[in-house]
Amino acid sequence: MTLKKRSAALLVVPALALGASLLAGGVAAASTPDGGGGGHGCRAPLPADGLSVVTCVDWADSGSAVGTVTTSGSNNTTINLCVEVVDANQNLVPGSRNCQPQPGPSGFVQTPNVSLRAGTYYVVSYFTSPTYWYGGETQPFSVS
């Protein structure tokens, strides 16, 4: 497979996985402290390739958000761990994707602090080892 085809596959597969998981549910509830202004939310740990993957978001109602993904477990393979912010239509928020190689079973990657327009968003994580593994997504969060 050429590099161009691999890159295209890496863009399509997360979108398909996100769509399937949104239909299936299975996310931990996000909290909104004091009834508004933003919050913090994490997906329940998701097992993937010998790892436990936790995807989280911290957001402000004013429009900024940071997504994180943490891994732990028994897989000592170096993985390329990714986290990104997508909108309700599964479109990548420009500048939000961050992928970093993570040696061993423990890893942590976070998105840059992104500015968001009013709308609904998710933080999505995945990794390659070299096989693609879906890491989960947060509950939807809204910015007004």
Residue in this structure with the two tokens 């994490």, named with its chain if needed: 42
The DSSP-derived string for 113-131 is -EE--SEEEEEEEEEESSS
Helix (H), strand (E) at residue 84: strand 79-87
pLDDT at 12: 38
Cis peptide before 47 (omega within 30 of 0): no
- The amino acid that residue 13 corresponds to is V
**Please, are residues 69 and 83 in contact by the beta-carbon 8 Å criterion?**
yes
- Which token pair is 75? 């897989």
Residues with Cβ within 8 Å of 90's Cβ and at least 6 positions away in sequence, in order, are 15, 18, 19
Rounded Cα distance between 44 and 52, Å, is: 10
What pTM did the predictor assign?
0.76
Q: Is the pLDDT of residue 61 over 70?
A: yes
pLDDT at 36: 55
Q: Is the pLDDT of residue 18 over 60?
A: no
Average pLDDT along the chain = 81
Q: Is the pLDDT of residue 20 over 80?
A: no
Q: Which has the minimum average pLDDT: 15-24, 59-68, 99-108, 113-122?
A: 15-24
More reliable by pLDDT, 62 or 91: 91
pLDDT at 88: 96
